[in-house]
Structure 1
Amino acid sequence: MVSSAPSFLQRNEFLLRRLHSLTGLIPIGAYMVVHLSVNASVFGSPRLFQRLVFHIHSLGPLLPLVEWSLIFLPIIFHAVYGLIITKDGNPNTQSYPYNSNFRYTMQRATGLIAFLFIAWHVFHMHGWIHASFWVNNIAHPLFGAQFSPYNAASSGAEAMQASIIVPILYGIGVLAATFHFTNGLFTFGITWGFWISAKAQEKAKMVANVLFVLLAVVGMTSIVGLYSMSQEKIAEVRKEEDKAYELLVETGDIVPNDHKHSKESKYYHAEESDDAAKAESKR
């Protein structure tokens, strides 16, 4: 009987698993740490948060290239190959209810949750596609594309406060993503031979657990910061963001961009009404 030739995945399993492990740390994990840290700044200073977002978007036309090469494509590869690993895996927590088996199962479960969350998060905040037809006719009606980079804190707060379900979903997603990363960091060290002995693995596991708690707190900080922002504060922040936007446009530091500068906020229209009323009163 002639056996069938091994598939591409079978022939390159060692390389693909190493690449899968590596992308989980760099660039995906590194980006997540930066992303959570930047977002957490909104809790203490919406102005600082906006400044950081301005800095990120100062990359201009290079930003999509950076996003796709260092964020989206690695995430897609990591997620797809992770699903393949999960499909071929065989959890045995019922027969062997050990800590390692539970961590294995949790790693697979949180990976799936994190991927679904990231897909929804990108749609919710950015709409996936920036084309006007898509944004206006598909994303916005489905409560997507709610984030405007040049009105980062105010639009983020409005998006987070749209429904109590939103911060709950973000909380679940952040917990899943941070656990998946930190537990993956622990298994990364085993896969690459950084900690082999049982003693070294126990220490690494403790570090991973502490890192999970720290990153989870950082992630929750941004959610709380946006969800707890009062309506008055949102209006105040929106005015500051608009002034900063106008100044940076005047100085040539950023190019005017209607997609990144929101005019959909109720606060924007409220300001227009106030300005019109003031102009009318002066006549």
Structure 2
Amino acid sequence: MSSSNSFIDRHYLVLRRLHSISGIVPIGLFLFPHLTTNSSIVWGDATKVGGVATFQHEVNFIHDLPALFLIEVFGLWLPIIYHAAMGVYFARSGRTNTSRYAYQGNVRYTLQRASGYIALVFIFMHVASLRFGVSFGGLMPGFDPNYAASTTAEHFQNGLWGRFAAVFYLVGVMAAVYHFANGLWTAAITWGLTVTTTAQHRWGMACAAIGAGLAAAGLTAILGFTFLDVGEAETVEKEMLQMKSPTASASGPTEN
């Protein structure tokens, strides 16, 4: 069977649209609550060492969700795997359905591919470290959900990689944000929603604003953890853990 009759070629438009929509729902939309929650370390309850109490409350809420693992698998991981696999295929094959708009050869297309590769590596490492304790040689944090802020801050400030870990996170987050915001712009073309140059320009401005907001939230979160007082944060977390479970140990965060 020739390559022109492959499964992907026969269903190219459908797969392309599924790839487009999976980058927005649920993956892209997840960035809004995720980065907002993380940035609460700065804008949260000012009476509790910055936003430590607010951030810990949100982490507790997430980890107390029923069937959390299933939600992650079907709501995030499988869509991410599909989006990443098809994204790599489309990038390597050089195929695009936007040639009508002379998009493939411009800077945005190149940055979209580069940011996609960076975001893919970062997301894999981020999930592997937070959910399964893989540290990648100390580059990724040893996260304890009962001491969410202090363990993250400790890693950014005193981890094996020093402040480079924060820089690595910054690059990964910015790549994910750009990939999503620019993907919103191209998705409108893919779905035939912005046909004219004027429509593309206006939607591009809206996408840029969305990207700027998410980037600001991501930067705020990283700076917040980088300069957080680890000892005071841990004190707040111990108090919250004791209130949540009076029989729980207050010996401090667990080392991965």
Residues 234 and 194 of structure 1: is their aligned pair in 2 closer, same or farther, counting only changes over 3 Å? same
1:54 aligns with 2:45: no
Partner amino acid, structure 2, of 1:37: T
**How far is 1:190 from its partner?**
1.2
- The root-mean-square deviation of aligned C-alpha atoms, in Å, is 2.6
The alignment's TM-score, normalised by the length of structure 2, stands at 0.85
What SS does the aligned partner of 1:146 have?
Answer: coil
Residues 220 and 235 of structure 1: is their aligned pair in 2 closer, same or farther, counting only changes over 3 Å? same
Aligned 8 A contact 2:37 2:55 in 1: yes
Residues 23 and 192 of structure 1: is their aligned pair in 2 closer, same or farther, counting only changes over 3 Å? same
Larger Rg, first or second structure (1 or 2): 1
Mapped partners of 1:13, 1:207: distance in 2:
29
**How far is 1:125 from its partner?**
3.3
What are the residue-to-residue correspondences of 1:121-200 with 2, within 5 Å?
121-126=126-131, 129=132, 135=133, 139=134, 142-143=137-138, 144=140, 146-161=142-157, 162=159, 163-200=162-199
* Residues 59-106 of structure 1: CA deviation (Å, up to 9, x unaligned): 14x111111111111111101110000011179xxxxx9897111111
Q: Which residue of 2 aligns with 1:66?
A: 71
Q: Which residue of 2 aligns with 1:241?
A: 237
Partner amino acid, structure 2, of 1:83: V
**How far is 1:3 from its partner?**
5.2
Aligned 8 A contact 1:42 1:222 in 2: yes
Count of matched residue pairs: 239
Residues 48 and 89 of structure 1: is their aligned pair in 2 closer, same or farther, counting only changes over 3 Å? same
1:104 aligns with 2:125: no
Aligned 8 A contact 1:123 1:145 in 2: no
Residues 5 and 21 of structure 1: is their aligned pair in 2 closer, same or farther, counting only changes over 3 Å? closer
- Aligned-pair identity in percent equals 36
Runs of 5+ in structure 2 lacking a partner?
44-50, 97-101
1:120 aligns with 2:125: yes
The alignment's TM-score, normalised by the length of structure 1, stands at 0.77
* Residues 175-227 of structure 1: CA deviation (Å, up to 9, x unaligned): 11111000000111111122211111110111111221111111010000000
Q: Which residue of 2 aligns with 1:88?
A: 93
